[in-house]
Structure 1
Amino acid sequence: MLWRKRLFAHLYPGLSARHEALVAERKRALFREALRRARPERVLEIGPGPGTNLAHLPEGVAYLALEPNPFFHPRLREEARKRGLALTLLPGRAEAIPLPGGSVDLVVATLVLCSVADPEKAIEEVHRVLRPGGAYLFLEHVAAPKGAPLRLLQEAATPFFVFFGDGCHPNRKTLAQIQARFPRVEAEAFSLPLPVVAPHVAGLAFKE
């Protein structure tokens, strides 16, 4: 429903501020490594929201953004303008990226696979649009180990998160899904002092 998307876009910057502070240094290091190794000229970001990650991109790259929530678009355009990035907004969803195969050097998706309808299909699309040698930068909250008290809480909280969090699922085993499609994955698991969504993974996956 549009009212939920509007509400989520309004609340998200405030809700995400603590998370961004907690992952700031890790995210900076991850982007530095991705830029060094992929040397991108064309960057696709899936689910950029208000454009938080644009601060990590150098001027001059062609920045393509697939953001299905239209209420983020005004802030995303303004952030791109301030950063000196030429923004191209793409229609569609992560499961059907409207780009040719092998057409981008770097795909960025942070806190995205929790909320897509079909994460395996989204990962397949990321792989398809990357050029050989290109990189996929990810940072996601993930499911706690099966049987752990936190996992039970995640399962119970999932319907609430889906309804109010624009489709967010706190109980997804995201790293295994990425590794199933990308044989070469460099990832780190870590935990943040957050309720329900404490377990995280971050890293780079490379297309051979």
Structure 2
Amino acid sequence: MLWRKRLFAHLYPRLSARHEALVAERKRALFQEALGRVRPERVLEIGPGPGTNLAYLPPGVAYLALEPNPFFHPRLREEAKRRGLALTLLPGRAEAIPLPEESVDLVVGTLVFCSVADPEKALEEVHRVLRPGGAYLFLEHVAAPKGTPLRLFQEAATPFFVFFGDGCHPNRKTIALIQARFPRVEAEAFSLPLPVVAPHVAGLAFKE
């Protein structure tokens, strides 16, 4: 429903500010690692929202953004212009990326695979559009270990998050899905002082 997408786009920058402060240094190091190893000319970001991650990209890269929530688009355009990045907004969703095979050097997805409708299909698409030697950079909140009180809380909270959080699933086992699609994954698990979504994982997955 459009009103939920509009509300989410309005609230998200405020809601995510604390999270971004907690992960900014980790993100910066992760982007520097990816940029140094891949040296991308074309970068695709899935679900960039208001464009928070543009701060970690160097000027001059061709930046492709797949953002299905249209209410993020004006802010995303403004941020790309401010950062000196050539922005191309792509239609569609992560499960059907409208790009040719092996056409991008780096795919970025942060706090997005919790909300895609079909994460396995979306990861297939990420793998398809990456060139050999390219990388998928990810930072996601993930499910707590099975049987723990936090996991039980995540399971109970998921319907609320899905409804008000634009499809967010706090109980999703994203790292297992990434490892199933990419044979070479360098990842680190960590926890943040946040309710429900404390467990996180971040890293790089490489296409051979």
TM superposition score category, shorter chain reference? over 0.9
SS at match of 1:95: helix
1: CA distance between counterparts of 2:163 and 2:39? Answer: 38
2: CA distance between counterparts of 1:110 and 1:118? Answer: 16
1: CA distance between counterparts of 2:157 and 2:181? Answer: 28
Q: Report the TM-score, using the length of structure 1 for normalisation.
A: 1.00
Residues 143-174 of structure 1 deviation map (CA, whole Å, 9 limit, x = unaligned):
00000000000000000000000000000000
- Offset, 1:57: 0.4
Runs of 4+ in 1 over 3 A off after TM superposition: none
Residues 119-144 of structure 1 deviation map (CA, whole Å, 9 limit, x = unaligned):
01011100000000000000000000
2: CA distance between counterparts of 1:148 and 1:200? Answer: 15
| Unaligned runs of at least 5 residues, structure 1 | none
2: CA distance between counterparts of 1:74 and 1:143? Answer: 32
Residues 72-113 of structure 1 deviation map (CA, whole Å, 9 limit, x = unaligned):
000000000000000000000000000000000000000010
| Unaligned runs of at least 5 residues, structure 2 | none
2: CA distance between counterparts of 1:48 and 1:164? Answer: 18
SS at match of 1:20: helix
- Offset, 1:118: 0.3
Q: Report the TM-score, using the length of structure 2 for normalisation.
A: 1.00
SS at match of 1:145: coil
- Offset, 1:6: 0.1
Residues 21-55 of structure 1 deviation map (CA, whole Å, 9 limit, x = unaligned):
00010000000000001100000000000000000
- Offset, 1:203: 0.1
Residue 87 of structure 1 is matched in structure 2 by 87
1:201 aligns with 2:201: yes
Query: What is the percentage of aligned positions where both structures have the same residue?
Result: 92
Aligned length: 208
